[in-house]
Structures are given as C-alpha cells and as structure tokens.
Amino acid sequence: MTDVLTVEGLTKTFDMHALGDKQVVGLDDVSFTVRRGEFLAIVGESGSGKSSLLKCLYRTYEPTGGSTVYHPADVDLATCDDRTVMAIRDSTLGYASQFLDEIPRVPAIDVVARPLLERGTPAAQARDRARELLDALGLPEELWEAYPATFSGGERQRVNLAQALAPEPELLLLDEPTSALDPETRTAAIELLSESTDAETTVVGVFHDRDVVERVADRVAVLDGGELQRVVPVAEFAAEEEEEVVA
C-alpha cells in the first residue's frame, strides 16, 4: 500500500505577544506516514496539539519546521508556495473543521454543492449529490433550502461534513466532525466516513469520541503535549483503553 502523506519532524511554535513574546510549542518533531485509503485517527487530551497538527497539514498554520510531503505529486505542503497549496485544496485535498464557515444567504444544499461546482460538476448533478449526503446525514428535507445560519450546532455540523465529503477528495482532513451530533446521526456519519475510505479517500481525523475512533479508524496516532507518543493499529488502541478501564 502506497503512502499518501509523509510527515517528518513537523514542528509548530506560537509567539504569544500578550505574554512578552513567549514561545509556546504546539507541535514538537512529529513524524508519521498515512497510507492510501487509510483512516488515521488523531487523539489526545485537550491542548495536546491535535487541531494544530491538522491545521499545519492543511497549511492554515504555517509550520515552524519539518515537512509534510503529499504524494504522488511529492509536494511539501509545509514549504510550497500559497498558489500550489490552493491548487491542491481545489483539486484533491478536503478539510472540515468543527464549525461551518457560513456563506450568507446561501441555502444548505448549495453550500454542500459548491465544491463540486467549483470543480466543474454540472449544477443538477452537484445538487443531486448534495441531496444524497444531506439525506444520509438525516438533515430534514425542509432545511435543505434554508440558510445554515439559522441551524442548530448539530445541523450545521451535518452540512459541514456533507460539504467536505461531496467532492470525494483524495485526502480528507477532519477536525472533530461528529462532536455536536446525536447518537443516531453520529452513526450515519460513521457509515458515510467508512464508505469514503472504501472509495479510496484517505482520511486523517481528529476525534474526542473513542467509540467513533474504534468504529472508523485503521490506525490511531496519540498526541500528548505536542509530541507524538505512538501510532498503533486501532485494535491495539482499543485494548489499551480496556486495560485502563480495568485498572
């Protein structure tokens, strides 16, 4: 199985100007690989660096050091120019944060269809795909033509996840995409995420719900204090969790 992403020595420090320019380490020499079609879950306590890692991979944050080479183009996302980053985002790299970045006065169905339209998909086909995903995630049909600004947190999160899944990116980065979902909707989201990896989409996702991790992940990367502690198969991670509960 070929690698999609090779991360080596990834480091991110933050200059805290309000604290006298004190430097805070967000990531410290993080290295791992992600295989094609794999689902790699990123876990750790609050402040462990999970979201910082994802933002460095997507280049929302510019890494302080190290490399994040995206294959097969062999582009280092940590150091390439902004135009290259934007081109890769537009073509093969997807991202969903916890919160929907709303577009004023755009209906939910068009929010989901937008990345497909930007890639040249005919409007009717793009909206059909949007309907399919919104229905699978249990968003009531009467909300499809409504504005997400009026939605609850869970409803917005469903639109956000649908938008990320719609174009079937080669590499999809997810930052706690199920945190606001109820159990039934979370199950539907898990099924869609599982289907996405079956369809050759590679996923790197930050999760706080260990049950979700155990149901969708192939391997689990554990962060602590900005450092990568280990990357283990999900079965090994689940066994570790059981041992902690028994202890």
The pLDDT of 126-143, averaged and rounded, is 96
Q: Please give the Cα distance from 173 to 193 (Å, whole number).
A: 12
Q: What percent of the chain shows pLDDT beyond 70?
A: 94
What's the start-to-end Cα distance of the chain, in Å? 37
The pLDDT of 135-139, averaged and rounded, is 94
pTM, entire model:
0.91
The pLDDT of 224-235, averaged and rounded, is 96
Give me the pLDDT at residue 149, please. Answer: 87
Check pLDDT > 80 for residue 98. Answer: no
Q: What is the CATH class of 3-92+169-246? A: alpha beta
Give me the pLDDT at residue 1, please. Answer: 65
Check pLDDT > 70 for residue 241. Answer: no
Coil, strand or helix: which one is 97?
Answer: coil
Check pLDDT > 80 for residue 123. Answer: yes
Check pLDDT > 70 for residue 157. Answer: yes
- Please list the residues that pair with 69 across neighbouring strands: 6, 76
Q: Which stretches within 137-247 are classed as H helix?
A: 153-165, 183-198, 210-216, 234-246
- Please list the residues that pair with 30 across neighbouring strands: 10
Average pLDDT, the chain: 90
Give me the pLDDT at residue 240, please. Answer: 81
**170-174, 184-188, 200-204: which is most confident:** 170-174
Contact (CB, 8 A) for 164 and 177: yes
Q: For residue 246, name the pLDDT band (cuts at 50, 70, 90).
A: very low
Q: Please give the Cα distance from 106 to 108 (Å, whole number).
A: 7
Give me the pLDDT at residue 247, please. Answer: 45
Domain residue ranges in the chain: 3-92+169-246, 102-164
Contact (CB, 8 A) for 243 and 214: no
Check pLDDT > 80 for residue 153. Answer: yes
Check pLDDT > 50 for residue 147. Answer: yes
**22-36, 164-178, 200-214, 220-234: which is most confident:** 220-234
